[in-house]
Each structure stands twice: as structure tokens, then as C-alpha cells.
């Protein structure tokens, strides 16, 4: 991944030299996402800046990508996993080996942006400029794995950036660019290009997916996302999701080692990474999984004070004040720094599985398959504000790309097309049983059947408790009593939430920035709609949920 910055709708009287310098300075705020190289393109109506993290085609894939005739300029943050198939079907005159150049090809060969953007299987946010027609296209991947923000400066020029920090102080109307949509300046319309039949539960009723088909679909998703020309690894918490990603990656890595006869090389041997407080459940489980899979494992210990010291930088990087996201982002941010120091630039991660398969513990309370399915759709729609935001920005703070095979678009069609009655938990059936059954034998039983931990708990049960205790000291009763006056939008409900909001406001002042963070009551990462599933949820105090009583073996009393 990388970062992009774009400024559009420049007028003939604009000072291009001054605006170019401004664009460079704004883009520099997000250079941590692309420390390898910077590229700039300036035309009469546009300025594009690209900060590159070179993963695929490091030698020739520098951006903005230009067409052979110079008419197109493209800045992309992301990866296009089906680029080889798209290249093979195209007559376009490619100039690089970059996976992203197929976007220029599709633009030239297919009339409707809704149609051609919908052909991309990948994670992406891009801005494309056509100098001949003075037309530009902006789009974001269907789930919102790659972040993208937009807004207008004081002169009405449209600005887009990978991170909000590049637009703060410039755009008073900054907002997230919606996932799964494309903007075309030719008509000024924002259109949805990604809409699946499986969103409607009725379209999935009675549809079974055989265990071997589910397993094959996921293995192929992992294989697609191993597309890289640089050293890579896997995040391995020892939970089900990351362990399955690691198991599939290890299988393909073994093939690569055998084919290249480089078993003693540092790379392509598969390295795995975990982090936690001393004695954390994740560190212990991750070691068990790593030993079984044969990865070169690195388990890092952080202290509570190291995490606390990092909080301001974590919030600055992840650009949210959501309590659950900050709790989980902090250890991930610390882990990314360790990974970067070891020379790894890309990791596979397990985000998305809980949303697809109903892995959060509150799904045990779902009253019906239809309610279960509708909640998974709501969760997928919100991922760009929560787990995708966390994984992407925590890792990219140190120039490490996180890829998420569970959110591969082809795999999503298989897994979300399944009747949710097969996914339901409760009455002795563990969450995500259908996924566990599909991978029987791929992991030790103690990992394959390990019950769900909230990530913030898995890194060590003292992490959340320590944050709450610190907030009690850092936020006075008087301050907290006036929370609604100071923060009328998404008023903090706890001192911990108030503390994070106060830090966020320092970096991201103003109503527009505050409104980029969703609100509403939640328990165990639920949507507000799922609170009706259990009357006990109404009195639950912690948004991470911890271990849900009556569900988790280690539930808090």
C-alpha cells in the first residue's frame, strides 16, 4: 500500500507552483504509508501526489502511473489481486509490471466506471485523471480496507487523501469516501458499483456450502494475496482466524521453498508475529500454532506503560476516538514497529472472519438465521470504520502493509452466500463452527477450537483494566460531568472514552473530523441493532464486551 493525495478542479488563474508545494507538504503528513519514493503529477486541472510503499514491481511501478501517450495519470493505494487475468484480456499498451496499471487499461476500454471498477478484486483507493477530457475518477474498494477521505478547500477545490491528517486545516467538510462507490467528475455523481444479492437473506436461504468448497475458496484467497516481490509474514495471535491464515500461507510457503531449494534462507521462509503483555493468552496460543505450522515465530512482549506512552501517536495515526479500536490498535501499532525493524513490508492478517461468520460472542444470542445474517451484513458495512481502519493504519504507521484474505471478494461471495443457519452458534455449538469444521486437521485442536477472545483481552487481561484505571486519574470528575457540553456529538460515556476524545481533538479539531467517527451503543463490538437480542446488553458497560457471560468459558463474573 501507499498513500495518495489529489487536488482537483483547479482554475486557470490558480498559482500551480504554490499549489504544487502545498500538495507536497500535505502529502508529506502521510509519508509513513509510503517511505520508498514520492511521485508528483501536475496538469492544468489537477495535482496528484503519491507516496510509495513498493510491494509489487519495485523497479518500475513508481506512481502516478502514466499511459504511453501521457493522457492518463493514476495514483493508487492498494493491490489488485486479479491483475494478471485483467491484463491477459486487455489490448492496452502497458508500460510497467504494476498490478495497478490495469485500472488505466479498464478506463480506456470500458465506458462505464461502475462496470469496470466492479471488475477489480483487490483493496484500493485511487484517483485517475484524463487530461484529454479533463475528467477524473475516484473510487474505493468495496469493504473499505484502504482508507480514503475527501473534502473541499476554501476555494472549492476537491481534495482527496489516504488519511484525514492530510486534509485537516484545509478542508472544513472532510469526510470518509464511501467504500464500494465511484465518483465521476463527468457528471458529478457518486455511484455504488458493488451490490451483492447475498445482502438479502432471502437470496441465501437453503444455500449450503460444502466444507471442502469453503476451505478451497479460502486457500485460494490466501494464495491470491501472497502476491508480492518483497519479504512478507503473517500476524499470528493464536486465535482461529489468524491461525487459519497462517496455516494456508505456510502451505504455499513450503511449496515456494521446495521449488527454490532455499530452505535455509531468511525469506521465503514464513515468519509469524505476535504481541502481548507478559503472560498473555495470545502469546501462549500463538507459540502453539507456530510450532505446529513450522513458522519462524517472533512473540514480542510489551509493558502496560509502553502501550500507554504510545496512545497519543496511536490516536494520531488511526484517526479515531472509538474506544474498542484504540484499545486494539495500540498493541498492533507496537507490533508493526517491530515487524518493520525486521525488514518485513507485508503481512497477512485475519480481519473480517468475525463479521462474515458471526464470530463475536454476542452472536450466540441471535434469535434467528435472518437476524444473524442481517447483523453480518451490517458488520461488513461498518468494517471500514473499525477493524479495517485499525489494521490498515496501525500497520501503515510504520510502512507495513496488512492484507486481509477473509475479505477477498471472491471468498466473500462464497462465505456470505451461505445460509446463516449453518453459521449460528449457541446451545453447545461454538461460534464459527462451520469454519472450524472446514479446516479440521489443519491446526492443533486447542487452536482450531479455541474460543473467541476480544483482541484487547487476548493481548493480556490487564490491558483494558489498566487503561480504565489510568483514565480515572487523567480525567477529573468535573471534566467528565461537562462532557455533553464539550462534546455534544458522540458524547463520551466513560472517562476512558473522554480521554481518547480529548487526545483526538488535539490532532483533529472541528465538527467534521468528529463526525468521521461513528457512534452509538455497542456491546462486544455489536451494531446498535443487535442490542435487542438480549436484555442484559442494555446494562453492559464495556464496548469491547470482554468475555460475554453465559457464552465464554472465561466469562467475567
Rounded CA-CA distance 373/206 in Å is: 13
Among 2, 100, 146, 171, the one annotated catalytic: 2
The closest alpha carbon to 160, from 18, 17, 50, 43, belongs to 50
Helix (H, G, I), strand (E, B) or coil at 241: helix
Helices (H) and strands (E) in the chain, counts: 21, 17
User: Cell 508528483 identifies what position?
Assistant: 40
The DSSP secondary-structure symbol of 450 reads P
Rounded CA-CA distance 256/276 in Å is: 31
Rounded CA-CA distance 236/507 in Å is: 32
- Report the 3 state secondary structure along 487-509: CCCCCCCCHHHHHHHHHHHHHCC
Question: Could you write out the DSSP letters of every residue in 247-264?
Answer: HHHHHHHHHHHHHHT-TT
Sign of CA dihedral 549, 377, 373, 387: negative
Rounded CA-CA distance 2/361 in Å is: 34
Query: What is the DSSP pairing of strand 158-161 with strand 65-66?
Result: unpaired
Helix (H, G, I), strand (E, B) or coil at 293: helix
Rounded CA-CA distance 253/250 in Å is: 5
The closest alpha carbon to 34, from 50, 51, 55, belongs to 51
Whether 2 sits among the annotated catalytic residues: the reply is yes
The closest alpha carbon to 37, from 15, 66, 63, 10, belongs to 63
The closest alpha carbon to 377, from 240, 520, 490, 529, belongs to 529
Rounded CA-CA distance 390/275 in Å is: 15
Contact predicate 244/443, CB 8 Å: yes
Q: Looking at the annotation, which residues are catalytic?
A: 2
Amino acid at each position: 500500500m501507499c498513500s495518495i493525495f489529489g487536488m482537483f478542479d483547479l482554475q486557470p488563474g490558480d498559482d500551480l507552483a504554490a499549489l504544487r508545494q502545498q500538495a507536497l507538504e500535505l502529502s508529506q503528513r502521510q509519508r509513513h504509508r509510503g517511505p520508498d519514493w514520492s511521485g508528483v503529477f501536475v496538469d492544468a486541472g489537477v495535482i496528484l501526489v503519491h507516496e510509495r510503499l513498493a510491494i509489487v514491481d519495485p523497479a518500475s511501478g513508481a506512481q502516478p502511473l502514466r499511459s504511453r501517450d501521457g493522457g492518463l495519470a493514476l495514483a493508487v493505494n492498494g493491490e489488485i489481486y486479479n491483475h494478471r487475468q485483467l491484463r491477459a484480456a486487455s489490448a492496452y499498451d502497458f508500460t510497467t509490471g504494476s498490478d495497478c496499471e490495469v485500472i488505466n487499461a479498464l478506463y480506456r476500454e470500458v465506458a462505464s466506471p461502475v462496470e469496470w471498477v466492479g471488475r477489480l478484486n483487490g483493496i484500493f483507493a485511487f484517483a485517475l485523471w484524463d487530461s484529454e477530457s479533463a475528467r477524473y475518477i475516484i473510487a474505493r474498494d468495496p469493504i473499505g480496507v484502504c482508507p480514503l477521505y475527501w473534502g473541499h478547500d476554501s476555494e472549492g477545490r476537491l481534495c482527496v487523501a489516504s488519511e484525514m491528517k492530510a486534509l485537516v486545516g484545509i478542508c472544513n467538510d472532510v469526510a470518509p469516501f464511501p467504500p464500494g462507490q465511484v465518483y465521476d467528475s463527468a457528471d458529478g455523481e457518486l455511484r455504488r458499483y458493488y451490490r451483492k444479492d447475498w445482502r438479502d437473506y432471502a437470496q441465501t436461504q437453503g444455500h449450503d456450502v460444502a466444507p471442502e468448497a469453503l476451505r478451497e475458496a479460502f486457500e485460494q484467497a490466501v494464495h491470491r494475496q501472497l502476491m508480492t516481490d518483497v519479504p512478507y509474514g503473517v500476524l499470528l495471535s493464536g486465535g482461529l482466524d489468524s491461525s487459519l491464515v497462517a496455516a494456508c500461507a505456510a502451505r504455499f510457503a513450503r511449496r515456494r521453498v521446495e521449488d527454490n531449494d532455499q530452505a535455509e534462507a531468511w525469506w521465503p521462509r514464513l515468519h509469524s508475529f505476535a504481541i502481548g503483555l507478559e503472560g498473555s493468552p495470545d502469546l501462549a496460543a500463538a507459540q502453539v500454532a507456530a510450532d505446529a505450522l513450522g513458522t519462524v515465530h517472533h512473540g514480542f512482549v510489551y509493558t502496560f506503560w509502553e502501550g500507554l506512552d504510545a496512545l497519543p501517536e496511536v490516536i494520531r495515526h488511526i484517526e479515531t476516538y472509538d474506544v474498542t479500536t484504540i484499545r486494539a490498535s495500540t498493541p498492533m501499532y507496537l507490533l508493526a514497529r517491530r515487524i518493520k525493524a525486521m525488514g518485513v513490508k507485508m503481512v497477512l492478517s485475519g480481519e473480517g472472519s468475525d463479521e462474515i461468520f458471526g464470530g463475536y460472542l454476542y452472536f450466540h444470542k441471535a434469535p434467528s438465521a435472518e437476524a444473524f445474517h442481517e447483523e453480518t451484513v451490517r458488520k461488513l458495512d461498518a468494517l471500514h470504520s473499525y477493524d479495517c481502519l485499525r489494521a490498515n493504519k496501525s500497520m501503515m504507521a510504520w510502512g507495513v502493509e496488512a492484507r486481509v484474505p477473509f475479505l477477498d471478494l471472491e471468498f466473500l461471495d462464497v462465505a456470505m452466500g451461505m445460509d446463516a443457519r449453518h453459521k449460528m452458534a449457541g446451545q453447545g455449538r461454538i461460534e464459527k463452527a462451520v469454519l472450524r469444521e472446514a479446516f479440521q486437521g489443519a491446526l492443533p485442536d486447542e487452536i482450531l477450537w479455541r474460543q473467541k477472545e476480544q483482541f484487547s483481552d487476548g493481548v493480556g487481561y490487564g490491558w483494558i483494566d489498566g487503561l480504565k484505571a489510568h483514565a480515572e486519574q487523567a480525567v477529573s470528575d468535573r471534566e467528565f460531568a461537562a462532557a455533553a457540553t464539550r462534546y455534544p456529538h458522540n458524547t463520551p460515556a466513560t472517562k476512558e472514552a473522554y480521554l481518547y476524545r480529548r487526545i483526538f481533538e488535539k490532532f483533529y479539531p472541528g465538527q467534521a473530523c468528529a463526525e468521521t467517527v461513528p457512534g452509538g451503543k455497542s456491546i462486544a463490538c455489536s451494531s446498535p441493532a443487535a442490542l435487542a437480542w438480549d436484555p442484559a446488553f442494555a446494562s453492559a458497560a464495556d464496548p469491547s464486551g470482554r468475555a460475554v457471560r453465559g457464552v465464554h468459558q472465561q466469562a467475567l463474573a
